[in-house]
A and B are shown apart, each in its own frame.
Chain A
Amino acid sequence: QVQLQESGPGLVKPSETLSLTCSVSGVYLSSYYWTWIRQPPGKGLEYIGYIYYTGSTKYNPSLKSRVSMSVDTSKNQFSLTVNSVTAADTAVYYCARRRLNYYDDSGYYYYFDYWGQGTLVTVSS
């Protein structure tokens, strides 16, 4: 059974760096894309970006300048870093696995088949 679990500090000071890890069990990271998504309080979900098990990444342009992702296949984990955080980065952060639905000349189409339960990160001094 595939399970994802987010972990990391629940409180981060403004201007500092937010770091989270997603631990995956039940499946190896290999051959899959892994994603971070967040939901600010009272708002909708926001896609942050994804990382392939090889380390290649693609980020949402809205966050691209402050976001970084990495993967540790030996620990079956992947991580998210968000720099220079502000109160607007306060959110529940989710990790998820992307599953390929279909591909053709137009592109590749993925949805999310497994999610973690999320972890709340509050940015406050």
Chain B
Amino acid sequence: DIQMTQSPSTLSASVGDRVTITCRASQGIGSWLAWYQHKPGEAPKLLIYQASTLESDVPSRFSGSGSATEFTLTINSLQPDDFATYFCQQYHSQPDTFGQGTKLDIK
């Protein structure tokens, strides 16, 4: 199985900050990577697919980049609603695998 290593595991930031989360794959996955946002008690929400394509209705302050084994999720100008857990998913090879998640909390 492809291992997805996500960092950092926790991140403290303030409203207005720019933050970056990284996901590394144990082997090349092309651009077959998605990012999700998850808040406690809610359904995970798709943010980005194919490494950099923003899902409809997702604010443009979210962006994704990368290919092969290294990927980043960037959130510009953090808003109060953005404090949540973020995780990546590779869908290059079955079984799909996920990063361990990054909890973004308020500094």
A25 to B3, CA, bound (A): 33
B44 and A115 contact, CB distance less than 8 A = yes
SS class, residues of chain A in contact with chain B: strand
Tier of interface size on chain B: 20 to 34
- With A45-B87, A111-B89 known to touch, is A58 a contact of B50 (CB < 8 Å)? no
Tier of interface size on chain A: 20 to 34
- With A110-B91, A111-B89 known to touch, is A47 a contact of B41 (CB < 8 Å)? no
Instruction: Tell me whether B62 is interfacial, beta carbon within 8 Å.
Output: no
A112 and B34 contact, CB distance less than 8 A = yes
Instruction: Tell me whether B97 is interfacial, beta carbon within 8 Å.
Output: yes
Q: How many A-B residue pairs have CB under 8 A?
A: 58
- With A61-B95, A109-B91, A117-B41 known to touch, is A44 a contact of B101 (CB < 8 Å)? yes
A118 and B43 contact, CB distance less than 8 A = yes
Instruction: Tell me whether A124 is interfacial, beta carbon within 8 Å.
Output: no
Within 8 A of B (CB), among A41-74: 43-47, 49, 58, 60-62
A106 → chain B, closest Cβ, in Å?
Answer: 9
A111 → chain B, closest Cβ, in Å?
Answer: 4
Pick the residue among B43, B95, B99 that contacts A44 (CB under 8 A). Answer: B99
Residues of B within 8 A of A96 (CB): 44
B41 → chain A, closest Cβ, in Å?
Answer: 6
B58 → chain A, closest Cβ, in Å?
Answer: 12
A114 and B101 contact, CB distance less than 8 A = no
Pick the residue among A45, A62, A109, A116 that contacts B92 (CB under 8 A). Answer: A109
A111 and B41 contact, CB distance less than 8 A = no
Residues of B within 8 A of A61 (CB): 95
Instruction: Tell me whether A94 is interfacial, beta carbon within 8 Å.
Output: yes
Q: A45-B98, A109-B92, A112-B36 are in contact. List 14 more A-B contacts (CB 8 A).
A: A44-B87, A45-B101, A47-B95, A58-B94, A101-B49, A111-B34, A111-B46, A111-B49, A111-B89, A112-B46, A113-B55, A114-B43, A115-B44, A117-B41
